Amino acid sequence: MELQFFQKDIDEQGFELLYLPVLEDINAIKAWISFLGYEDEKELFGRLQKEKFSGKAGQLFVIHSQDLAVVLAGCGAKEKFSQENWRELTAYLVKFLKTYQVNKVALIAKTWLKGTSDISLLAKTIAESWHLTNYSFNQYKKSDTDKIELVVIDLGIELELGKKRDFKTAWEQGLLFASSTILARDLVNEPASIMTPSFLAETALKISKANPQIKAKILDKEQVEKLGMGAFLGIDQGSEEPLKFIHLIYQPKTKAKEKIALVGKGITFDSGGLNIKVGDGMTDMKIDMAGAATVLGVFSVLTDLKIKAEVHGIIAACENMPSGKAIKPGDVVKNMQGKSIEIGNTDAEGRVTLADALAYAQKQKVDTIVDLATLTGACIVALGSSYAALYVNQENLAKDLLKAANTSGEKIWRMPLAPEYKELNKSNVADVRNIASARGGGSITAALFLQEFIVGDTAWAHLDIAGPAYAEKPLNAYTPIGGVGFGVRTLLEWLSLK
Ligand code: BES
Ligand code: ZN
Ligand code: ZN
């Protein structure tokens, strides 16, 4: 699809469809229709009433015509209008275009700008949502009858000449935000028999090969043993699939002021281990590497986005399987810091692998660590499937991440690292236990477990993404069922401000 810019006289540009966002204001809507100069204006006003089109968010009003069809898209009230409306408006357009197959579509930039003049933000947001909405995972379908291809060849944008470059640059950025999210979605959607620790490692290597500024180190079991990662090894030991410890290092072109580690939970299948999952608890557990997928998605575009920080991507990838060799409840393992962990339940495996991944991250002498993990079902009980839980040991980091999430539209809710619950993770035989001794607050106690492995003054944030990593029903207008790629865009927003 090509971007085309024009300044006026839409009639003369050969477009087939004009998509026009309108606020919830019936007089303004009527004024637009008058401006478009239809002979049957009265009839159209009558149809507005009949279809109860008032410009509410999500409503569409289609005016068919021989040469240029016009779609009025409701934006709701001006006071409530936000960047998220741009994503939704774009998603409705893409969906509309799948039923109304046209090659040449036009937008008028100023009709999208309800109370802002930020053309770059508009361009980036439309590009991002366009591609995210158009995503589908249909690799394994012989023929996908649900899939209708977009046939848009030209997307025309009416814009002042001087703003053309800004628009194009921001559009490219939006594409990067989308492609990185889509990589993460693909990785999450892939079945676990394909999406093995080795597959994750190969993906990391591919990213490194395509980016001279990214180096990849892949450690195998022997190297992990040498590093003393007893916690990671303990979780892996029931599986037939070889484990991989993945370490990506991105170096910016100019000397970095900050060193950051992104750590992703990389359990490529969580059966629960000997504490095997029951009922349909195991069904979607191929998604237990969603944190790792997010880290890889982010890495795929760090170079193109010219991120200024040094970024480390760290993933302890393995399966959690039952077998004669599997770790047993009551076993004690030691992570590479020498801290001992009693395994109270083999299904609380993510935090155990993270104990080593977080320790390794600190060995890289980073200033800040952000980990992402589909860590607890309790998080879904607490916040539902739209929100990730955010735990942070430093106020500024919390503020920055929440700000980034606000821009990306990803929903993140801060939760407490409640010191009074710390004792719930106490063990009688080891330094700490991987399940808490009380039922409630399971996402909090899991976060507190991770905090046990953060030493010194490293700024650390933990995102429990168990809820929004995977959408059982569409998460929003631009996120279909399946892997969400949750966290990619928020982390990219955050890193862009470094
Ligand atoms: N991977 C799961 C958490 C999960 C559940 C993610 C549902 C996404 C959707 C995690 O390893 C797990 O099994 N956690 C247990 C912990 C419990 C044994 C303390 C849980 O949440 O039940
Ligand atoms: Zn588990
Ligand atoms: Zn898990």
| Cα distance between residue 45 and residue 30, in whole Å | 7
Give the list of residues 6+ apart from residue 153 with CB closer than 8 angstroms, or none.
1, 2, 103, 104
Instruction: Provide the pLDDT for residue 12.
Output: 84
Instruction: Provide the pLDDT for residue 151.
Output: 85
Instruction: Provide the pLDDT for residue 11.
Output: 83
User: CA-CA distances (angstroms) from residue 483 to 11, 132, 187, 242?
Assistant: 41, 12, 8, 24
277 is catalytic: yes
Instruction: Provide the pLDDT for residue 8.
Output: 83
Between 73 and 153, residue with greater pLDDT = 73
Q: Is the pLDDT score of 173 beyond 80? A: yes
| Ligand 1, CB within 6 Å, residue ranges | 270, 288, 345, 347-350, 374-378, 435, 442, 466
Cβ atoms of residues 261 and 369 within 8 Å: yes
pLDDT (mean) for 51-72: 94
Atom of ligand 1 minimally distant from the CA of 375: 3
Between 161 and 334, residue with greater pLDDT = 334
pLDDT tens digit string along 442-489? 999 999 999 999 999 999 999 999 999 999 999 999 999 999 999 999
Reference 348, options 270, 452, 460, 462; nearest CA is 270
| Cα distance between residue 118 and residue 32, in whole Å | 23
pLDDT (mean) for 337-344: 98
Q: Is the pLDDT score of 21 beyond 80? A: yes
| Cα distance between residue 110 and residue 482, in whole Å | 34
Residue 475 CA, ligand 2 centroid: distance in Å: 23
Give the list of residues 6+ apart from residue 64 with CB closer than 8 angstroms, or none.
none
Which segments of 14-124 are extended strands (E)? Answer: 17-22, 60-63, 69-74, 104-108
Say yes or no: domain 2-159 is CATH 3.40.220.10: yes
Atom of ligand 1 minimally distant from the CA of 320: 11
pLDDT tens digit string along 418-430? 999 999 999 999 9
Between 67 and 288, residue with greater pLDDT = 288
Residue 272 CA, ligand 1 centroid: distance in Å: 8
Instruction: Provide the pLDDT for residue 67.
Output: 85
Instruction: Provide the pLDDT for residue 13.
Output: 86
DSSP states of 307-351 as a string? Answer: --SEEEEEEEEEEE--STTS--TT-EEE-TTS-EEE-S-TT--HH
Mutation test residue for ligand 1: of 287, 346, 347, 385, the one with most atoms within 8 Å of CB: 347
Atom of ligand 1 minimally distant from the CA of 275: 18
Instruction: Provide the pLDDT for residue 76.
Output: 95
pLDDT tens digit string along 228-267? 999 999 999 999 999 999 999 999 999 999 999 999 999 9
Mean pLDDT of the chain: 96
Reference 268, options 204, 192, 203; nearest CA is 192
Q: Which ligand is nearest to the CA of 377?
A: 1
pLDDT (mean) for 42-48: 94
pLDDT tens digit string along 182-239? 999 999 999 999 999 999 999 999 999 999 999 999 999 999 999 999 999 999 999 9
Atom of ligand 1 minimally distant from the CA of 435: 19
CB atoms within 10 A of CB 328: 13
Residue nearest atom 7 in ligand 1 by C-alpha distance: 377
Residue 97 CA, ligand 1 centroid: distance in Å: 40
Return the minimum-mean-pLDDT range out of 10-14, 236-240, 277-281: 10-14
Q: Which ligand is nearest to the CA of 271?
A: 2
For the chain, percent of residues with pLDDT exceeding 70: 100
Q: How deeply is 167 buried, as exposed, middle or buried, from its count of CB atoms within 10 A (0-12, 13-18, 19+)?
A: buried
| Cα distance between residue 314 and residue 299, in whole Å | 11
Residue 456 CA, ligand 3 centroid: distance in Å: 27
| Cα distance between residue 54 and residue 62, in whole Å | 13
Cβ atoms of residues 16 and 69 within 8 Å: yes
Return the minimum-mean-pLDDT range out of 70-79, 97-106, 284-293: 97-106
Instruction: Provide the pLDDT for residue 150.
Output: 87
Q: Is the pLDDT score of 397 beyond 80? A: yes
Instruction: Provide the pLDDT for residue 77.
Output: 95
Q: Which ligand is nearest to the CA of 281?
A: 1
* 3-class SS of residue 213: coil
Mutation test residue for ligand 1: of 376, 385, 424, the one with most atoms within 8 Å of CB: 376
Q: How far is CA 243 from the centre of its chain?
A: 25
Instruction: Provide the pLDDT for residue 94.
Output: 96
Atom of ligand 1 minimally distant from the CA of 277: 13
Residue 320 CA, ligand 3 centroid: distance in Å: 8
Q: Is the pLDDT score of 23 beyond 80? A: yes
Q: Which ligand is nearest to the CA of 469?
A: 1
Locate the domains of the chain by residue range.
2-159, 175-496
| Cα distance between residue 79 and residue 57, in whole Å | 12
Q: Is the pLDDT score of 47 beyond 90? A: yes
Residue nearest atom 17 in ligand 1 by C-alpha distance: 348
* Bridge partner list, 70: 18, 63
Atom of ligand 1 minimally distant from the CA of 281: 7
Instruction: Provide the pLDDT for residue 258.
Output: 97
Ion ligand 2: residues, CB < 5 A: 270, 347, 349
pLDDT (mean) for 19-37: 94
Instruction: Provide the pLDDT for residue 143.
Output: 78
96: left (phi over 0), alpha (psi -120 to 50) or beta: alpha
For the chain, percent of residues with pLDDT exceeding 90: 91
| Cα distance between residue 376 and residue 348, in whole Å | 8
The pair of three-digit structure tokens given for residue 293, joined into one six-digit string: 């997928």
Instruction: Provide the pLDDT for residue 88.
Output: 97
CATH number of this structure's domain 175-496 = 3.40.630.10
Reference 249, options 234, 259, 257, 239; nearest CA is 259
Instruction: Provide the pLDDT for residue 386.
Output: 98
Instruction: Provide the pLDDT for residue 439.
Output: 87
Q: Is the alpha carbon torsion for 233, 268, 180, 395 positive or negative?
A: negative
Residue nearest atom 3 in ligand 1 by C-alpha distance: 376
Catalytic residue (choose from 164, 168, 277, 422): 277
Reference 3, options 165, 121, 144, 146; nearest CA is 165
Lay out the sheet containing 340-342: strands in order across. Answer: 332-334, 340-342, 432-433
State the pLDDT confidence band at 147, using cuts at 50, 70 and 90: confident
Catalytic residue (choose from 87, 286, 339, 351): 351
Burial 442-462 (b: 16+ CB within 10 A, else e): bbbbbbbbbbbbbeeebbbbb
87 is catalytic: no
Instruction: Provide the pLDDT for residue 198.
Output: 98
Residue 371 CA, ligand 3 centroid: distance in Å: 14
Instruction: Provide the pLDDT for residue 311.
Output: 98
Residue 345 CA, ligand 2 centroid: distance in Å: 9
Instruction: Provide the pLDDT for residue 115.
Output: 84
